[in-house]
Amino acid sequence: MKDKLKSIMDRAISEIASSDDMEKLNAIKVNILGKKGELTDILKGMKDVAAEERPKVGQMVNETRAAIEEKLNEKLEEMKKKLREEQMKAETIDVTLPGKKSELGHKHPNTIALEELLRIFTGLGYEVVDGPEVEKDYYNFEALNIPANHPAKDEQDTFYVTNDIVLRTQTSSVQVHVMEKQKPPYKIISPGRVFRADEVDATHSPSFHQVEGLVIDKNVTFADLKGTLAEFARRMFGPDTKVKFRPHHFPFTEPSAEMDVSCFKCGGKGCRFCKGEGWIEILGCGMVHPHVLEMRGIDPDEYVGFAFGVGLERITLLKYEIDDMRLLYENDVRFLKQF
């Protein structure tokens, strides 16, 4: 038995020494130390060994196993070290080469314009309020004094999810939610994405962004509205900017107006940018219609207010002298890098 164990150990050590890859090393381990290996067979035959000899034979088998396992582990570590060295040589980094620059993005022109606009209004004491893009028809139209079959609804007809659910056409619906949940006074600004069934061209898109403001308080006048929007125009387009109000009609305001700003390109003299007019239309506004207040349970004899709405893309196009709205959505890096 002793000679047989010595023969197994010598052969195993020789095979381990000559192994040159992990698979061969694993095969040696299985053939000798595995469940069906040679040492396991010897242990299974211990029943045929005399009782007084079994401890000696068992000790010899364990010593042989320990010696083989030690050689296996030594060879395994040697192979791992060799693999690491080869990997290090293959992955050598030339530290003298220039590093790879990471392309860092920056803010979209719409985002830049929106942040500036919000800074202006929050500086004037306005609170920024958000609302859902998928809205009930009631909040989007009826609560803003636009009943079913009203002509103004045709101009804003949008994408319907169901008969009662629409993609909002204006962020004025946010103002309705605020009036419904809170008691006046309030002074809010509500930016967000809106949707209208428009053809895509240089100045229109079925999806764009709007920013609307609302002030409800006692003793608010049209002069407050004009002063607020004049200050906004000066801060957004330059200190020399002038404003002009033209009568208009919006169902949810009375009286209503559209506001123009003096062309900041030519100073109001008339140029290609303002189409020779000297003025550029910028937003719509007006005093909140008494019926809108009544529908929200606000007494129009006690509280009055004003509202205004501006297209964010229009601000961006004017501020950065961009002549095609589609450029804002194409994600052309060559265009966006200019801002």
pLDDT at 91: 76
pLDDT at 50: 66
Query: pLDDT tens digits, residue range 31-56?
Result: 777 777 777 777 766 666 666 666 77
Which residue is listed with tokens 């009568």? 247
Judge contact between 229 and 196, C-beta under 8 A.
no
Phi and psi (nearest 5°) for 267?
75, 20
Domain hosting 128: range is 109-336
In this structure, are strands 243-250 and 304-311 parallel, antiparallel, or unpaired?
unpaired
Q: Is 97 inside a domain boundary? A: no
Query: pLDDT tens digits, residue range 271-329?
Result: 877 788 889 899 999 999 999 999 989 999 999 999 999 999 989 988 888 888 888 88
Judge contact between 314 and 258, C-beta under 8 A.
no
Q: Which amino acid is at 94?
A: D
Q: Is 220 inside a domain boundary? A: yes
Average pLDDT over residues 73-94: 82
Q: Helix 312-319 to helix 222-237 angle, to the nearest 10 degrees?
A: 40
Strand-pairing partners, residue 261, are 243, 280
Same structural domain for residues 63 and 182? no
Q: Is 98 inside a domain boundary? A: no
- Is the predicted pLDDT of residue 187 greater than 90, yes or no? yes
Same structural domain for residues 65 and 184? no
Q: Is 99 inside a domain boundary? A: no
pLDDT at 48: 66
Judge contact between 209 and 312, C-beta under 8 A.
yes
Split into its structural domains, the chain has a count of 2
Q: Which of 90, 124, 157 is the last residue of a domain?
A: 90
Q: Which amino acid is at 333?
A: V
Q: Is 95 inside a domain boundary? A: no
- Please give the sequence-ordered ranges of beta strands (E in DSSP) within the chain, or none if there are none: 127-128, 134-136, 165-167, 186-195, 207-217, 243-250, 253-262, 279-288, 304-311
pLDDT at 47: 64
- Is the predicted pLDDT of residue 262 greater than 70, yes or no? yes
Give the separation between CA 200 and CA 37, rounded to whole angstroms: 77
Q: Is 53 inside a domain boundary? A: yes
Average pLDDT over residues 263-273: 77
Q: Which two tokens stand for residue 11?
A: 């052969």
Identify the three-state secondary structure at position 48. Answer: helix
Same structural domain for residues 158 and 204? yes
- Is the predicted pLDDT of residue 83 greater than 80, yes or no? yes
Query: pLDDT tens digits, residue range 114-154?
Result: 999 999 999 999 999 999 999 998 888 888 888 777 665 66
Same structural domain for residues 165 and 120? yes
Between 4 and 304, residue with greater pLDDT: 304
- Is the predicted pLDDT of residue 268 greater than 80, yes or no? no
Average pLDDT over residues 69-85: 84
User: In sequence order, what are the residues at sequence separation of 6 or more whose Cβ sits closer than 8 angstroms to the Cβ of residue 156?
Assistant: 141, 146, 169, 170, 196
pLDDT at 155: 59
Judge contact between 296 and 269, C-beta under 8 A.
no
Same structural domain for residues 135 and 250? yes
Burial label for 304, CB within 10 Å (0-12, 13-18, 19+), is buried
Same structural domain for residues 126 and 213? yes
Q: Is 297 inside a domain boundary? A: yes
Same structural domain for residues 314 and 252? yes
280 CB-side CA count, 13 A: 26
CB atoms within 10 A of CB 182: 13
Identify the three-state secondary structure at position 274. Answer: coil
Query: pLDDT tens digits, residue range 195-247?
Result: 988 888 887 888 899 999 999 999 999 999 999 999 999 999 889 889 999 99
Give the separation between CA 329 and CA 316, rounded to whole angstroms: 12
pLDDT at 192: 93
Identify the three-state secondary structure at position 178. Answer: helix
Judge contact between 80 and 195, C-beta under 8 A.
no
Share of the chain above pLDDT 90, in %: 36
Same structural domain for residues 122 and 68? no
pLDDT at 318: 86
Same structural domain for residues 164 and 261? yes
Give the separation between CA 142 and CA 153, rounded to whole angstroms: 10
* Secondary structure element (H or E) that encloses residue 222, with its range: helix 222-237
Same structural domain for residues 120 and 43? no
Same structural domain for residues 62 and 137? no
Same structural domain for residues 136 and 213? yes
Q: In this structure, what CATH number is given to the domain that contains residue 244?
A: 3.30.930.10
